[in-house]
Chain A
């Protein structure tokens, strides 16, 4: 069964802290994504990676960075957390194919910055 695992379900961090959100997929997918979900705003793409060490900015990359050193792992980094980054973060993965790919999601990480 396909699986995308996010390391932490709930986190509380202080303003200014460096925060790491980890995501692992076991499907050998080329693509991995980080989305942020806020009420009324839907899912907004933060960063997208199409291969190891390759990344593209999404709609809201400011204040975030990412790391993909291994194919199965995609990390989201908040360099200096702010209260405006309190949100639910969703990691996802998919195959790389022009014929259409299903996106598989993790269960989400609820981050509260105080």
Chain B
């Protein structure tokens, strides 16, 4: 399976700290996306990075992509209690870019 692996599985930090989570995948990708899921709800898109990009920013989010290592990281700066959620990476394959595979997720807990 192409399914990505997020690391760590769980992360607990204090409000104001930065949170970093990583995603590794197995085969060549067209793009990689990060999603957020609040408990028991659907997933919401955060950011997309294409295979020819190395870094992307959106507000307090910073995503990097290293295609040689087949890995990506999501950094949330100055975290807030409202950032508490599970975060998933999704990969779209280079030869089937409309089909998406998700990892197992990182559960982030931001303590007030």
Q: Which positions in A face B, CB cutoff 8 Å?
A: 4, 30-31, 33, 35, 40-45, 48, 50, 56, 58-59, 88, 90, 92, 94, 96-108
Contact = CB atoms under 8 A, between A and B. Distances in A.
A103 B105 CA distance: 16
25 contacts: A35-B102, A41-B104, A42-B88, A42-B102, A42-B105, A43-B88, A44-B3, A45-B100, A45-B102, A48-B98, A90-B42, A94-B100, A97-B97, A97-B98, A99-B50, A100-B31, A100-B33, A100-B48, A100-B97, A101-B92, A103-B43, A103-B90, A104-B45, A106-B42, A108-B41
Interface size bracket, B side? 20 to 34
Contacts, number: 73
Interface of B: 1, 3, 6, 30-31, 33, 35, 40-45, 48, 50, 88, 90, 92, 97-105
